[in-house]
Amino acid sequence: MHWYCTTVQSEIRNLLSVPPSEQFSFLRCPATLLMNVFCHPGVFRDGGICSTLDVMPNMIPDFVFRARVPLTNGKFDRTEVDMCLGDLLIEAKLTEGDFQTAPKAAVQAYRDFNEVFDEEGLPQTERDFLSYQLIRNVLAAYSSGCTFCVLTDARRPEVIEAWFAVMKCVRPVDLRVRCKVLTWQELAVAVPRTLRVFLGEKYGIDSAVG
């Protein structure tokens, strides 16, 4: 079973530059998994994936999308989001760790931070905010009018817990509605059978799990 789209040419070049001992980890990274799913020629064919993600048919995925998050100094943070599909921003997780941390001063430098979040409720330490990637990408969705989805593995409940810990601190109700979490297992139900088999064999993603 083979599928290909020109969007992944850079990832193939990246793979060729990775030492053989590290290529297995590279192939199991969430960015590569996103490409395997959304470059499959039949992924949008029956409308299942569109219904699951609430996107229009035949959208062209933009991988490693550079969002524009406004800063208080009038500039922008060109943060990287794993994929943009129409007006949907997607952050993907598989086996890697948490959503990173960032110094509080860096996070507070985002223009819309206090408008979007209840700062005191966010997961944090004395110096840092936890789940920085989630905070940053929610701000990206807010400033762009996009929706935002975290794709994660059902076998990683701590990732889902981190998601809800941040979501309960989102002030605008309409933004909270535009943000969602979805497991790869739930997504697997909506993809073509050949792709579903591939996900089970290569990534251990079983649509019956979760």
Q: Residue 137 and residue 80: Cα distance in Å, rounded?
A: 9
Among 20-29, 97-106, 135-144, name the one with the lowest average pLDDT: 20-29
Name the phi and psi angles at 156, rounded to 5. -120, 70
User: Does residue 114 contact residue 139 with C-beta atoms inside 8 Å?
Assistant: no
Tokens representing 39 are 């470059």
What is residue 207's predicted lDDT score, i.e. its pLDDT? Answer: 73
Q: Residue 178 and residue 147: Cα distance in Å, rounded?
A: 5
Look at residue 19 and tell me whether its pLDDT is greater than 60. no
| Cα–Cα–Cα angle for 124, 167, 196, rounded to 5 degrees | 115
Distance between the two ends of the chain, CA-based, in angstroms?
A: 26
| Kind plus residue range of the DSSP H or E element containing 88 | strand 88-92
Tokens representing 7 are 């969007």
What is residue 1's predicted lDDT score, i.e. its pLDDT? Answer: 38
For 163, residues 6+ apart whose C-beta sits below 8 A from its C-beta are: 131, 134, 150, 152, 181
Q: Residue 28 and residue 203: Cα distance in Å, rounded?
A: 7
What is the average pLDDT score of the chain? 86
Q: pLDDT-derived band of residue 30, with 50, 70 and 90 as boundaries?
A: confident
Look at residue 210 and tell me whether its pLDDT is greater than 60. no
Strands 69-70, 76-77: pairing is antiparallel
What is residue 15's predicted lDDT score, i.e. its pLDDT? Answer: 45
Using CA atoms, how far residue 193 sits from 67, 121, 190, 202, in Å, is 33, 42, 9, 14
pTM: 0.85
Look at residue 185 and tell me whether its pLDDT is greater than 60. yes
Look at residue 26 and tell me whether its pLDDT is greater than 70. no
Among 73-77, 147-151, 168-172, 204-208, name the one with the lowest average pLDDT: 204-208
